[in-house]
Structure 1
Amino acid sequence: MTILVFGRTGQVATELSRHGGDRVRCLGRDEADLTDPGTCAAAIAGGTWEAVINAAAWTAVDAAEEQEGDALKINAGAPEAMARAASAAGIPLVHISTDYVFDGSGTAPFAPDAATAPLGAYGRTKLAGEQAVRDAGGTHAILRTSWVVSAHGKNFVKTMLRLGAERDRLTIVADQVGGPTPAADIARACLGIADQLIADPGKTGIYHFAGGPDVSWADFAREIFAQAGLSPEVADIPSSEFPTPAARPANSRMDMGTTTATFGIARPDWRAGLSDILTELGAKA
């Protein structure tokens, strides 16, 4: 049997296809349109699957501020349909969520049972998706992650490589701290968690998965440049000097203890994952 993956071209979906091989079946928008949740339910009901992984979402954080209804349909309506269909089929669902469900207060890592308080529309829609998955009553793992990077799509690593080659000096936010997370590590974690849920539905719950060590965006940029052999000056700035339509959490530290204890999955070192990404991009020094 096969694991059904919602998403085909996104960062995590691309890595799921790579690491899952013939065992995964990735559906793009042409086969399962998340703006039409019924197509997601039909895809699950129409096949014989071992598990479902939802790696698709509305991820345009700033655009969600003006298009919250559209984001809600994709980030909550579609996962609800998936969860109910998976529950009816008796198979587990792994659903990827985000650190944006928290308000980013304090400096301590957020545990899975910490109080949620999204700062903006994106976080609200993702939190609604989590609630919908839980309410469906089936076997599931909600996997919150942060700062996703890879050699694919748009992300911080690729932006820094471009700007670092163009400019002598960059100003980077230094008062937001979190764990960069390579998409390849997320994909491996999702596949491992799916297998364990198949064997033990009692592991249903909310979990965190983020790379370590925790770092600011500015220090993350410095490591990207160091590994890529680039040498622009990086000047630290506060978030107030880089305003965006949607507020970003200042603290995106995630406590992975429950994930490690339950699934035996260790926190990945993002520096090693960054090296792999740069090698793939041909940007390794």
Structure 2
Amino acid sequence: MGKLKVLFLLLTVSVLVLSACGTKKDAGAEKSDGDGSYELMKKGSLTFAASGVYKPFNFEEKGKLTGFDIEIGEAIADKMGLEANPVTNPFETIMQGLIGKKFDAIIGSMAYTKERAKQVNFTEPYYYSGGMIFVSEDNKDIKSEDDLKGKKIGVVAQSTYEKPAQTLSDNIQYYSSDVVALKDLTIEGRLDAVITADIVGYEAIDNDFKIKEVGKPLWVEQPSIAVRPDNDALREDIDKALKEIIEDGTYDEISKKWFDRNLLDLDLEGVELLE
């Protein structure tokens, strides 16, 4: 009987050890979407980042993130069967945040460029936007990009507008928010011009900023959703969900809510796409 008791105890301990190992493995799986095909920072949720200071695309209102980017992210998460978990990160360090696994994706008006694509993987574009020069309403000196030589230009650091601005002038003022830069245009002596998205500038004009556009867009950029290269299965599912919200009319509804038009409805023939 003594030997049988010892054998029974050994079997019991073995079962407990195996159970404990299984529990540890299951806990680790909480970083996946349930079937293990891709990694999520929080099980059952799509955690995506935006700067939170890029109105009307992403901004805080009454303590909550809202805007076009945020609603697109929410619609995509819904199609994927996930909860939307939008977070903020300064734009100048947002790629580092993604690579450092602070969030799953960037849905924050980050345009695709070949340089950025060396570090992250991008989905198809989820809207098109033109890079535009804006000046104060009473500025009569700047009528084209050729007039910007030596002028003080405001741009958001690490944005797609930074390098073009540097080719036009050696006097660059960096900002963390396009809205603040455009506001500085209205204060005498602060800035001569700002280069930002045409949509953002027009939104500022609609909100009584005393500014105006100069000429036509310098180029058209392709804001896309970014994920880490080692999580490309997530990009594939996001692309699939994006296609679905475009096809079922959800995208059109969100776009027209914020801009009275579909931001993907643009004739790209003969247009220079920023790469």
TM-score, normalised by the number of residues in structure 2: 0.29
| Higher helix fraction (1 or 2) | 1
TM-score, normalised by the number of residues in structure 1: 0.29
Larger radius of gyration: 2
| Higher strand fraction (1 or 2) | 2
